[in-house]
Amino acid sequence: MKTTYKIDPSHTHAQFSVRHMMVSNVRGEFTKLEGEAVIDDADLESSRVSVTIDAASISSRDEKRDAHLRSADFFDVARFPTLTFTSTAVRKNGNRLEIVGDLTMHGVTREVKLDVEELTEAITDPYGAVRRGARASTSVDRKDYGLVWNAALDKGGVAVGDKVSINLEAEFIRI
């Protein structure tokens, strides 16, 4: 039986990490998102998920950097206000799941594969709501999405790495 869940945004995190100045990683997250998952425990491969993220909600704990990330140099939130993910397939991968889907960012859609490390069983919280959780990860090349701004460094290398690691921690409420 398929069960529909809504993402609980106050308990869901869409986080990213990217190499900065060739010496460290900058981490951040998008703080506003919504979506749903339709989960079929009897046939997980028929499950599906969709998420919409408010691009302007990007936060890297540095307001000046966040303003630059919202600008036309990066996400161009005035033209591309959302990022979306819509699953196209769910596959069992040993004890894990792989969710294949279309990620649209900066007006470009590419297929990505999410490695689902955990999908919890349904539980009932103290207020009667049925909840589930999931943890997943992937990585993308930001240039594949037209996010090409960069600056050369004096000793070689660039200010912003191309590979972006994405980690998702989601909590769902049955609707």
Q: What is the pLDDT of residue 70?
A: 97
Tokens 């040993």 appear where? 94
Please tell me the distance from the alpha carbon of residue 11 to that of residue 13, in angstroms, as a whole number: 7
Model confidence at 11: pLDDT above 90? yes
Q: What is the secondary structure of 15-44 as a DSSP string?
A: EEEEEETTTEEEEEEE--EEEEEEEETT-G
Decide: pTM greater than 0.85.
Answer: yes
Closest to 88 in 3D by CA, of 98, 75, 80:
98
CB count within 10 Å of CB 59 equals: 16
**Range(s) of the domain holding residue 62:** 2-174
Give me the CATH number covering residue 48: 2.40.128.110
Instruction: Give the total number of structural domains in the chain.
Output: 1
61-78: pLDDT as tens digits: 999 999 999 999 999 999
CB contact set of 128 (below 8 Å; sequence gap of 6+):
none
Q: What are 120-174's pLDDT values in tens digits?
A: 999 999 999 999 999 999 999 999 999 999 888 888 788 898 999 999 999 999 9
